[in-house]
């Protein structure tokens, strides 16, 4: 691996972060706070939130078994995705490599930050080759993006290939595990200490059922997390979100129940889809959604909209011609979808 200093943009490496009132004094003992120009009325929403989300990280640390110094929290994973570009990629000079197809935000953030985005096509079974990804990288490649289970294809990437990328690439590897809760594959969080160039992304938006509160997590070495903390907005995770997330962490057994139910429902849905006349090919899923090739994705998508049912049309995505991406819902929602598709005339 190149040193972190070599991988970081020089301006970011040199940056002295903005120091907020809550950064400079964060002891708990004081009872009169006249340091942040807040309004003393309208408790509890009058005070700035903890910029480092200490209590939330402490609770999260217990469940994820990762020390708080290795955790960054952001306004969705999307904030962490944007931060890796801003921290490491020099616009118009550096580039990043990613599998294709995958989650669209990596490319959007690359383009916003004026960083070249190099796509490497998966094979027809949506598997990737470490050799091909590494061959697409050069001395200006700072980041490689992997997503497992991948979106929109739904499959886990092969663990041995992921490990090869992490070991052989001399830049940083971003492994997006947004859907790992639904997979049988163990998370790479357990490997964090072994790999100083690994950044694992997770989110409260999927298994945790909290897309509305906007909370994403990045796990990495303490040095990488310090860089994120240095360039993030001081109060990037608001108080309501921190509070709600702590409440959810106290109810993690419920999340386990949801995940179990959703995996069973995924099995039922897949079984029913396989029998539908409009199904051409099912792709195996390790997530809370699956990809299915149908006779005519555009027609079927529009037909379902007419029935008040929205799925995702992935027809124009690489390798996903005539494919729909279907999120697993409640038993009732899934039955409505199947019933509508049974009525559809191929
Ligand atoms: C849904 C999703 C996320 C979550 O993004 P948030 O900003 O945390 O809501 C991240 N990565 C992938 C691949 C996703 O599909």
Pocket of ligand 1 (CB under 6 A): 76-78, 103, 147, 151, 176, 178, 203, 205-206, 211, 216
- Res. 6: pLDDT tops 90: yes
> Which sign, positive or negative, has the C-alpha torsion 303, 304, 305, 311?
negative
SS3 per-residue string spanning 225-272: HHHHHHHCCCCCCCHHHHHHHHHHHCCHHHHHHHHHHHHHHHHHHHHH
From atom 15 of ligand 1, which residue's Cα is the shortest distance away?
Answer: 151
**Are the C-beta atoms of 97 and 136 separated by less than 8 Å?**
yes
Residue from 74, 155, 178, 204 to probe ligand 1 pocket by mutation (most atoms less than 8 Å from CB): 178
- Name, in order, each residue with C-beta under 8 angstroms of 320's C-beta and a sequence gap of 6 or more: 101, 152, 153, 291, 314
> Residue written as tokens 């120091």?
19
From atom 12 of ligand 1, which residue's Cα is the shortest distance away?
A: 178
Question: What's the whole-model pTM score?
Answer: 0.97
Top mutation candidate among 126, 151, 241 for ligand 1, by most atoms within 8 Å of CB: 151
Tell me the C-alpha distance between 340 and 309, whole Å.
Answer: 9
CA 77 / ligand 1 centre spacing (Å) = 6
DSSP for 44-103, please give it: TTTSPPPTT-HHHHHHHHHHHT--GGGEEEESSHHHHHHHHHHHH--TTT-EEEEEES--
Is the CB of residue 34 less than 8 Å from the CB of residue 40?
A: no
DSSP class of residue 181?
A: G
DSSP 114: T
User: The dihedral of CA 188, 193, 195, 199: what is its sign?
Assistant: positive
Give residue 332's Cα distance to chain centre: 28
Tell how far the Cα of 150 is from the centroid of ligand 1, in angstroms.
11
Alpha-carbon distances of 266 from 120, 254, 288, rounded to whole Å: 29, 18, 7
The pLDDT tens digits for 216-268 are 999 999 999 999 999 999 999 999 999 999 999 999 999 999 999 999 999 99
Asked if residue 265 lies in contact with residue 328, where contact means CB atoms within 8 angstroms, the answer is yes
What integer is the mean pLDDT of 26-43? 88
Distance 274 CA to ligand 1 centre (A): 28
Residue 17 to residue 39: CA distance in whole angstroms: 25
pLDDT grade, residue 29 (50/70/90)? confident
pLDDT at 48 over 80: yes
Cα–Cα dist 208/181, whole Å: 9
What's the 202 CA to ligand 1 centre distance in angstroms?
8
The preferred substitution site among 76, 77, 325, 328 for testing ligand 1, maximizing ligand atoms within 8 Å of CB, is 77
Q: Give the tens place of pLDDT for each residue, 131-155.
A: 999 999 999 999 999 999 999 999 9
Q: Which residue's alpha carbon is nearest to atom 5 within ligand 1?
A: 77
CA of 342 to the centre of ligand 1 (A): 31
Q: What is the pLDDT of residues 277-310, one digit of tens each?
A: 999 999 999 999 999 999 999 999 999 999 999 9
Distance between CA atoms of residues 315 and 293, nearest Å: 9
Residues in contact with 297: Cβ distance below 8 Å, sequence separation at least 6, in sequence order: 313, 314, 315, 321, 322, 323, 324
Determine the residue of 78, 109, 183, 287 to mutate for testing ligand 1's pocket, defined as the one with the most ligand atoms within 8 A of the Cβ atom.
78
Atom of ligand 1 nearest to the CA of 204: 8
The pLDDT value given to residue 20: 80
Per the CB < 8 A criterion, the answer to whether 122 and 154 are in contact is no
In the reported structure, the alpha carbon of residue 290 is separated from the centroid of ligand 1 by a whole-number distance in angstroms of 16
């Amino acid at each position: 691996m190149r040193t972190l200093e070599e991988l970081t943009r020089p301006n970011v490496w040199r940056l002295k972060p903005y120091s907020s009132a809550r950064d400079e004094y964060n002891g708990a003992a004081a009872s009169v706070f006249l340091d942040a120009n807040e309004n003393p009325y309208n408790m509890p929403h009058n005070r700035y939130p903890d910029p480092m989300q200490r209590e939330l990280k402490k609770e999260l640390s217990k469940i994820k078994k990762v020390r708080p110094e290795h955790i960054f929290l952001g306004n969705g994973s999307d904030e962490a995705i944007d931060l890796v570009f801003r921290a490491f990629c020099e616009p118009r000079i550096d580039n990043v490599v990613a599998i294709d197809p995958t989650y669209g935000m990596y490319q959007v953030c690359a383009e916003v930050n004026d960083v070249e985005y190099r796509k490497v096509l998966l094979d027809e079974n949506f598997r990737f080759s470490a050799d091909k990804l590494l061959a697409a990288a050069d001395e200006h490649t700072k980041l490689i993006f992997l997503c497992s289970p991948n979106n929109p294809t739904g499959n886990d990437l092969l663990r041995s290939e992921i490990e090869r990328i992490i070991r052989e690439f001399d830049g940083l590897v971003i492994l997006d595990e947004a859907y790992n809760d639904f997979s049988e594959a163990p998370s790479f969080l357990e490997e964090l200490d072994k790999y100083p160039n690994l950044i694992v992304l997770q989110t409260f938006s999927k298994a945790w059922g909290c897309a509305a509160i906007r909370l994403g997590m990045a796990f990495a070495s303490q040095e990488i997390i310090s860089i994120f903390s240095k360039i993030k907005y001081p109060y990037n995770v608001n108080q309501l979100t921190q509070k709600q997330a702590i409440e959810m962490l106290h109810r993690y057994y419920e999340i386990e129940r949801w995940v179990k139910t959703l995996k069973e429902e995924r099995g039922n849905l897949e079984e029913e889809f396989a029998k539908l006349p409009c199904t051409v090919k099912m792709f195996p899923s390790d997530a809370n959604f699956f990809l299915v090739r149908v006779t005519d994705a555009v027609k079927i998508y529009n037909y379902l909209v007419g029935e008040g049912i929205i799925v995702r049309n992935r027809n124009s995505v690489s390798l996903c011609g005539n494919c729909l991406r279907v999120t697993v819902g409640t038993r009732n929602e899934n039955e409505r979808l199947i019933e509508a598709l049974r009525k559809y005339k191929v």
